[in-house]
Amino acid sequence: MAGSSEQQLVANAAATTVAGNGSRFAVTCGLLRQYMKEHSGSNGGGGFLPAVTAMSLMTGGADAEEEAPEVRKTMELFPQQAGTLKDTQERKEITEKAQLTIFYGGSVVVFDDFPAEKAGELMKLAGSRDSTAAAAVSDAGAAAGQPCLPDMPIARKVSLQRFLEKRKNRIVVAEPLPESEKKEAESSKRAKKDDGGASWLQVNPTLSL
Amino acid sequence: MGGEAPEARRLDRAMSFGGAGSIPEEALHLVLGYVDDPRDREAVSLVCRRWHRIDALTRKHVTVPFCYAASPAHLLARFPRLESLAVKGKPRAAMYGLIPEDWGAYARPWVAELAAPLECLKALHLRRMVVTDDDLAALVRARGHMLQELKLDKCSGFSTDALRLVARSCRSLRTLFLEECSIADNGTEWLHDLAVNNPVLETLNFHMTELTVVPADLELLAKKCKSLISLKISDCDFSDLIGFFRMAASLQEFAGGAFIEQGELTKYGNVKFPSRLCSLGLTYMGTNEMPIIFPFSALLKKLDLQYTFLTTEDHCQLIAKCPNLLVLAVRNVIGDRGLGVVADTCKKLQRLRVERGDDDPGLQEEQGGVSQVGLTTVAVGCRELEYIAAYVSDITNGALESIGTFCKNLCDFRLVLLDREERITDLPLDNGVRALLRGCTKLRRFALYLRPGGLSDTGLGYIGQYSGIIQYMLLGNVGETDDGLIRFALGCENLRKLELRSCCFSEQALARAIRSMPSLRYVWVQGYKASKTGHDLMLMARPFWNIEFTPPSSENANRMREDGEPCVDSQAQILAYYSLAGKRSDCPRSVVPLYPA
């Protein structure tokens, strides 16, 4: 028992370091998200960015390389959004669009067709927030000082969580898997457990009722 | 009434003061004996010194809503003749694994300073506190002979050794409540001793604990305690409880147990429940075991299906046979379909709780859980609802409006929008929330946990504006800017307790908002734009206002709960509360008390 919790501590520590590296990048993503929320206007309002995608941006254990493709996916919404504009506007927009590349916290993110006007605003925004946000993050390990803190999973009641774990175990016992699958399931389970921060983000989950 | 204002005016304060024409002391004692509501009592105590004194001497019960808000010595000095005391400890977030085990909320000072001098004390209720075997021993030494009710609710830190002491010494014990406590199991003797020594026991609850049970002891308990009306236990196979149920003739409420071998109908076919049973929660009940409830399902008033294996279809079948339910607790596996059956069948339903089930698709039968569809049908069908708590997968303004239109008795509404579905039909919920708050004027508690974009600043402003007599609120992922929070705060006249989580507010705005809510006396926040030192929190500094800041730290991220699960995430927390007890002396290292310079 002591051994396994020690192992988990180490895993957690590792996860934190990774998160530390990733968090500057995360700050950028947070700012981008905030920016787009503020400026999405009538083109879909709050639903513009699916919250679930936003959540996954900030998971403590995931590293930056994994996050980047997801971000890019999200950002491709820009051309789609532009597509809903009227023809004349769109033509005007096209002339002002270019590829935007962001180097931040060891990550590179590329956005196609990024409007120049928005890029300008983004620069301004990043410039004005950078000092405070970065300072808050440097010691925090994870992304404190984040606008809208997307990495806070809904917490689950401890009593219910305990029941659901028991239930899961019983279902596995009741319907035994073929040997090969079982081994696979077990090893993936173990991997999940050793995964430190990431694993509890999955299980843990809402504060509330 | 209207025309008699002049008459009423004669009942002025002069009557209360001493001297000629005042109510005699004895009469006031007698009259106040019939005043139990704590709010009435509070008002009485503020009339004048004499009424304050008489209230203090005749007050039988006090709840201390937060253990660091008052000192045991204060309480004793004011209410020396208390018969019943309840003290609450850790923030509610502890139930969600968000507060470290060593956070505090120790029962020790309360027991050590009060057990002996409160000579009339018959009932003690501690919630989310750390209680040691020594504390319980001290309590038993001082009050054991007359203790009638001991409730340790979600507490930790003690063992079955202390329970054994309680069982042997507290012979007047009517209620022993240990639900969801974390108890070190040093043997089962305590239950045996309880059965042998406590003939008047009426309620025993160790539901959701890990305590081991010897079925023979339960049978003995039923035999000895003829007035046992409520039993809630940990896991214990129902085939071993047949003897207990046969003996427990007075039993009205049962929860716990276990169907260890599911599908073995022959094994559980002989389980016969006592004839008066009207409240039930059978752990691990599956489709095959469900029929054992059918013969008396029409008598059931309370049904807890949270800890069962039932499918959506099972829920539909079972609930269709329960027309007299007042209280129903389920997981979201019930689905909108099951809620439809509830709406059609349970016309007297007062309390409905739809908990969050497994996120693992495949383990949950009905995909999508509960949505606006189910909530709307329930709102329309169950007009007596006083309490709705639901984790929903989707929601609309219309559903909230329906609740506001039809559920006029609602006192407590809690809604969490789960984060699995990418698309939510209808956000933000500004207008729905406004309609609900305007319609449900009896609301005293309100919780709304959404997702970014779920409620705009305008909606947040509505919550404040229409907060009415709401005293407790939990808000998560609401609002867009600091402005929303400030607008919210300006409306909250009667709010006493506030919990905020995962909101984008700055420390400065939080401090300003908190200062502007006149009735607020307790606030807990996690997930905001925290500064490293919490310096902006000092904006809310004022006399008697304790501020405790838990800085964001990677150290916290690695803390473990007792069961080895990671406990507190790395987000900063703020706890602030009015206190007459002064500075807290037992803060763990993770908590930084901030006080006015």
Q: Which residues of chain A lie closer than 8 angstroms to B93, CB-CB?
A: 155, 207
* Residue at token pair 């003996």: B247
Both tokens assigned to B529: 């734009």
Would A132 be classed as within a structural domain? no
Count Cα neighbours of B478 within 13 Å in the Cβ-side half-sphere.
30
Residue of chain B with shortest Cα separation from A19: B554
- Give the span between the Cα atoms of A124 and A121, in whole angstroms: 5
Query: In angstroms, what separates the C-alpha of A68 from chain B's closest C-alpha?
Result: 19
| Residue A40 belongs to a domain | no
Task: Report the percentage of chain B scoring pLDDT > 90.
Answer: 80
Q: Which residues contact A188 (CB under 8 A, 6 or more apart)?
A: none
Residue B142 corresponds to which amino acid?
A
SS3 B584: coil
Q: Which residues of B are annotated as a binding site?
A: 92, 353, 391, 414, 501
- The span from the CA of A158 to the CA of A209, in Å, is 12
Specify the pLDDT at position A47.
Answer: 32
What's the DSSP call for residue B237?
B
- Please report whether residue A115 resides in a domain: yes
**Whole-complex ipTM:** 0.84
Q: Using CB atoms and an 8 Å cut-off, which of residues 122-151 of chain B contact chain A?
A: none
pLDDT tens, B460-508?
A: 999 999 999 999 999 999 999 999 999 999 999 999 999 999 999 999 9
Query: Residue B210: which H helix or E strand, with range?
Result: none
The C-alpha of A125 sits at a distance from chain B's nearest C-alpha, in angstroms, of: 16
User: Which residue of A lies nearest to B428 if distances are taken between CA atoms?
Assistant: A46
Report yes or no on A114 lying in a domain: yes
Mark yes or no for CB contact A155/B93 under 8 Å.
Answer: yes
pLDDT digits (tens, 9 = 90+) for B73-132: 999 999 999 999 999 999 999 999 899 889 999 999 999 999 999 999 999 999 999 999
Per the CB < 8 Å rule, is A206 touching B98?
no
More confident residue, B234 or A55: B234
Chain B residues closer than 8 Å to A162 by CB = 208
Domain count across chain A: 1
Q: What is the pLDDT of residue B553?
A: 63
Tally of CA atoms within 13 A in the half-sphere of A151 that contains its CB: 27
Residue type, B70: A
Among B207, B451, B553, the residue to mutate for chain A (most A Cβ within 10 A): B451
Q: Which residues contact B304 (CB under 8 A, 6 or more apart)?
A: B255, B280, B281, B329
For residue B428, whether the previous peptide bond is cis, meaning omega lies within 30 degrees of 0, is yes
Give residue A171's pLDDT.
Answer: 72
B35: DSSP letter: -
Q: Does the distance separating the beta carbons of A146 and B529 come in below 8 Å? A: yes
Residues of B with CB below 8 A from A135's CB?
A: 532
A104 is a domain residue: yes
Q: Please indicate, yes or no, if residue A122 is contained in any of the structural domains.
A: yes
Whole-number Å distance between alpha carbons of B178 and B153? 6
Structural domain includes residue A110: yes
Nearest CA of chain B to the CA of A135: how many Å?
Answer: 8
Q: What percentage of chain A reaches a pLDDT higher than 90?
A: 0
% of residues, chain B, pLDDT over 70:
91
B509 CB contacts (<8 Å, ≥6 apart)? B482, B485, B486
Beta carbons of B552 and A144 less than 8 Å apart: yes
Closest residue of chain A to B498, computed from CA coordinates: A208
Residues in chain B closer than 8 A to A51 (CB atoms): 419, 422, 451-453
Interface of B with A in 364-393 (CB under 8 A): 389, 391
pLDDT at residue B270 in the model: 85
Return the structure tokens found at B344: 């059609």
A85 is a domain residue = no
Which residues from A are below 8 Å from B499, CB to CB? Answer: 207
B contacts of A136 (beta carbons < 8 Å)? 529-532
**What is chain B's mean pLDDT, rounded?**
91
- Range from B221-230, B247-256, B429-438, B570-579 carrying the lowest mean pLDDT: B570-579
**Chain B partners within 8 Å of A206 (Cβ):** 96, 356, 391, 416, 418, 449, 476
Q: What's the predicted TM-score (pTM) here?
A: 0.76
d(CA B559, CA B16): 56
Can you give the residue range of the structural domain that contains A97? 93-126
Q: What is the pLDDT of residue A151?
A: 65
Q: What is the pLDDT of residues B221-277, one digit of tens each?
A: 999 999 999 999 999 999 999 999 999 999 999 999 999 887 666 788 888 999 999
Gap from B457 CA to chain A (nearest CA, Å): 12
The pLDDT score that the predictor gives to residue A63 is: 35
Contact check, Cβ <8 Å, B180/A163: no
**C-alpha distance from A14 to closest chain B C-alpha (Å):** 10
Classify residue B12 as exposed, middle or buried by CB count within 10 Å of its CB (0-12, 13-18, 19+). Answer: exposed
Calculate the CA dihedral of residues A56, B509, B435, B423 and round it to 10 degrees.
-10
